[in-house]
Copies of this chain bind each other. A is one copy, B any other.
Amino acid sequence: MATPEPTPVYGELTRVYTRLYRYFHLSSIVGWDRNAMMPPKGNEARAAAEGELSALIHRTRTDPQLKGWLDAAAREPLDDVARANLREIGRDWRDANALPESLVEAKTLAGARCEHAWRSQRHANDWKGFLGNFREVVKLARQEAQLLADDTGLSRYDALMDRFEPGVRAAEIDRIFGDVKTWLPDLINRAQAKQAVEKVIVPSGPFPVAAQRALNVEVMTLLGFDFAGGRLDESTHPFSGGVPEDVRLTTRYSEDDFARSLLGTIHETGHARYEQNLPRAWLGQPVGTARSYGVHESQSLSFEMQLARSRAFAGVLAPLLGRHFGDQPAFDPDNLYRLWTRVRRGLIRVDADEVTYPAHVILRYEIERALVEGAIEPDDIPALWDEKMQSLLGLDTQGNYKDGCLQDVHWPEGAFGYFPSYTLGAMYAAQWFATIGRETPDLDARIAQGDLKPVFDWMGSNIWSQASLWPTPELVQRASGEALNPNHFRRHLEKRYLTPAD
């Protein structure tokens, strides 16, 4: 009896995922178009077309034969990249198949209803009205978390978070955020005390849109964005979209304030360079995609926080500002640096600086984790919010739901488990720059000369080219020689915000 050839099932799987990659390409481009180009009357037909494509993608990801292929492929001889790709395909398959369609639909519907009502309830400070819809969202999110937990063997919250940060667990987050809570409030106090005596000159506009755009393009080019493989356009809510082969950034211009668009564009350029430098040979397969939301955010925050808001880079930007807008005293590099590193305790997360931002995230993490795990109920949120805002930032939010627990879109939509990624991103970024600084002791001097090669080379070798080859914790270990260590972030903040200027 002849021995059968080993079935090349892995190849079959990769063909399905190549097809999915192409469907996602279509989805990304029409999604970008909807946000950046589409006139209003196109909306209904576009929603129908995108819905049809989503249904097609869902059918493809839940094709019953995939399960058998996954099991069979695991028994085939595969090299390391293929093995990692199979692991990522398995993750995607679980994501797509863990939940019954009825729950996905119910959750989408409840989230859409809650989010839609929230838009006006937030403005009306209407917590009671919001609760009516939100209880259903929480109920369904708990069911979702339980099913994902059953499927993965993780705890409920870990199972939700694993979709955003593969391999990162709440126990790790507790360790890290617990550490931050011991030093952050004091650091904020000291930074504010130091800045209280600093003089800052605010740039004086107007800054014409055409000049802002030209400045953004010049800075993106300096930061290595490849315009032969991407674009910069405008949209109401700036985002980074498109596909790795064609990355589409957007920004928004206000003639009063160029910095918001410039720093936002630099932030998005960080996301863009990650996408533009994913390994070409792996594109089309899950192993070739960016690692996680937190690692992606580490790129945007490396570019915006570590690089663009540094004293060294202020010296690079200053002459560009003068050239595009005409010289003015506010464009002095020391002033720009002071201006772009102001620390202010505020109620709103999206307006927060890098020092106070972690407080906003820790508060949300603690509340949403307890909520998902059933330790608290939606009714308990405002009191917890007030208590934590008081203890972390010393701010009173009692009765102010609008600028408190009603401020974010995540919870109304039922997106739990995402918030930690923001602060993980900031910490990864600090850890990357600590590592680059060890390898390139004159890093600041080189950045001051506009030489960003050490940063790009390091990111290319350690992050961009690695795509999804490793789970996040292993990527961190390989890139920086240690597990995620919040001391790097702390030292970054202390150096930038507590050290007296030269």
Q: Which residues of B contact A281 (CB under 8 A)?
A: none
Question: Considering only CB atoms, which chain B residue lies closest to A248 in the complex?
Answer: B37
Report the nearest B residue to A245, measured CB to CB.
B45
Alpha-carbon distance A40/B30, docked complex (angstroms): 18
Given contacts A33-B33, A44-B245, A245-B44, contact A26 B49 (CB under 8 A): yes
Cβ-based interface call for A42 (8 A): yes
Cβ B40 vs Cβ A228 within 8 A: yes
* A453 contacts chain B at the CB level, 8 A cutoff: no
A52-B228 in contact (CB<8A): no
Distance of A472 from chain B, by nearest CB (Å): 26
Task: Considering the complex, give the chain B residue whose CB is closest to the CB of A231.
Answer: B39
CA gap between A45 and B245 in the complex, in Å: 7
Asked if A19 CB lies within 8 Å of chain B CBs, one says yes
Partner of A246, one of B29, B46, B229, B230: B46
CB of A22 within 8 Å of the partner chain: yes
- Distance (Å) between the CB of A211 and the closest chain B CB? 15
Dominant secondary structure at the A interface: helix
- With a CB–CB cut-off of 8 A, which chain B residues contact A30? 26, 29-30
The smallest C-beta distance from A447 to any residue of chain B, in angstroms, reads: 28
* Those of A208-236 within 8 Å (CB) of chain B: 226-231
Contact A245 B37 (CB under 8 A): no
Interface string of A143-169 (1 = CB under 8 A from B): 000000000000000000000000000
Q: Please give me the residue from chain B that is nearest to A53 by CB atom.
A: B26
Number of copies: 2
Given A22-B48, A26-B49, A29-B33, A41:B226 Cβ within 8 A: yes
A283 part of interface (Cβ distance < 8 Å)? yes
Q: Verify if A17 is at the interface (C-beta below 8 Å from B).
A: no
Report the interface size class on chain A. 35 or more
Which residue of chain B is the closest to A276 with respect to CB atoms? B41
Cα-based distance from A26 to B29 in the complex (angstroms): 9
Cβ of A38 within 8 Å of any chain B Cβ, yes or no, is yes
Q: Is A243 an interface residue (CB 8 A)?
A: yes
Is A422 an interface residue when CB atoms closer than 8 A count as contact?
no
Q: Mark A21-57, 1 if CB is under 8 A from B, else 0.
A: 0110110011001000111111011101101110010
A51 to B52: give the CA distance in the assembly, Å: 18
In whole angstroms, how far apart are the Cα atoms of A48 and B56 in the complex?
17
Interface residues of A in 243-257 (CB under 8 A from B): 243-246
For the complex, what is the distance from the CA of A38 to the CA of B233, rounded to whole Å?
12
Chain B residues whose C-beta falls within 8 Å of the C-beta of A29 in the assembled complex? 29-30, 33, 46, 49
Complex contact A49–B33 (CB within 8 A): no
- Least CB distance from A33 to B in Å reads 6
Per the bound structure, the CA–CA distance linking A242 and B369 in Å amounts to 45
CA distance A414 to B77 in the complex (A): 47
Between A25, A56, A226, A244, the greatest number of chain B beta carbons within 10 A of the residue's beta carbon is seen for A25
Contact B39 A25 (CB under 8 A): no
- Determine the chain B residues whose CB is within 8 A of the CB of A227 once the complex forms: 39
Which of B39, B53, B226 contacts A228 (CB under 8 A)? B39
Contacts of A228 in B (CB 8 A): 39-41
Contact of A19 among B25, B52, B244, B246 (CB under 8 A): B52
A49 touches B37 (CB 8 A): no
Q: Which of B42, B56, B246 contacts A42 (CB 8 A)?
A: B246
A19 to B226, alpha carbons, bound, how many Å?
37
CA A33 to CA B33, docked complex, whole Å = 8
Cα separation A39 to B272 with both chains bound (whole Å): 14
Report B-chain residues with C-beta under 8 Å of the C-beta of A48: 22, 25
Closest to A36 in B: B37
Contact A23 B52 (CB under 8 A): yes
Separation of A48 and B245 alpha carbons in the complex (Å) = 12
Which chain B residue lies CB-closest to A51? B22
25 A–B contact pairs at CB < 8 A?
Answer: A22-B48, A22-B49, A22-B51, A23-B52, A26-B49, A26-B52, A29-B30, A29-B33, A29-B49, A37-B37, A39-B227, A39-B230, A40-B228, A41-B226, A41-B228, A41-B229, A41-B245, A41-B246, A42-B229, A42-B245, A44-B245, A45-B243, A45-B245, A45-B283, A46-B246
**Interface pairs A-B: 5 shortest CB-CB:** A42-B246, A41-B229, A25-B49, A45-B245, A22-B52
Q: A23-B49, A39-B231, A41-B226 are in contact. List 9 more A-B contacts (CB 8 A).
A: A22-B51, A22-B52, A29-B30, A33-B33, A37-B37, A41-B228, A42-B243, A45-B244, A45-B245
